[in-house]
Chain A
């Protein structure tokens, strides 16, 4: 158990809908990263938050947004969903800003039908 909690584990939704994925980092970790992993693909970096502030953005679609709250949990919002958004979405947390050791949650498997 990495200490990172993601909910829900599975999500099935229709095209055009909006969903929210939630991540609770390890206790004390200030950094939260979000990744998208499509079938048999690598981990695509979406966004990084550090202590409530957006720190870095990857190739995140405009339909996607995220935030990190004062209690350090984070949410990833996906809207106007398309079939191609079906993927595993992971969040990871890290204890220090420039540390490359990150702890991953179990992921949310999103299926868009």
Chain B
């Protein structure tokens, strides 16, 4: 079946860098995405990796290694507003868009 694993929570201080890892197991693979969700709000798309390597979007970067079934989201220059849950997601060949259980990031002053 399909599964994604990511840490349940991470804590960091303002201005720091934090990395959230994600390992996945899926039948067929069409890329790894990352989403952010603030408490009770709608998840919002952050980034997508279809090929191996690093994708950078402002303070956020995402990395994928298909051979290791592994990716990560890197958040730099952390701000208080970055406190949220972060989900990795994959799509399998059956058309399911599956999310990990989420990593709750707490940014402290």
Contact = CB atoms under 8 A, between A and B. Distances in A.
Chain B associates with chain A? yes
B42 A90 contact: yes
B42 A106 contact: yes
A77 B78 CA distance: 41
A45 B98 contact: yes
With most chain B CB atoms within 10 A of its CB, the pick from A43, A103, A105 is: A43
A98 interface: yes
Chain A interface extent, by class:
20 to 34
B94 interface: yes
Contact of B45 (A41, A48, A103): A103
Interface stretch (A17-25, A50-58, A66-74, A78-86): A50-58
A104 B102 contact: no
Contacts of A112: none
A27 interface: no
B43 A43 contact: yes
B44 A100 contact: no
Nearest to A91: B42
Interface string B19-54: 000000000001111000000111111001000000
Contacts of A101: 33, 45, 48
Given A2-B42, A92-B97, 17 more contacts: A33-B97, A35-B99, A50-B95, A56-B94, A90-B42, A92-B43, A99-B91, A100-B30, A100-B32, A100-B33, A100-B48, A100-B90, A101-B48, A102-B45, A102-B97, A103-B45, A106-B41
Interface of A: 2, 33, 35, 41-43, 45, 48, 50, 55-56, 58, 88, 90, 92, 94, 97-107
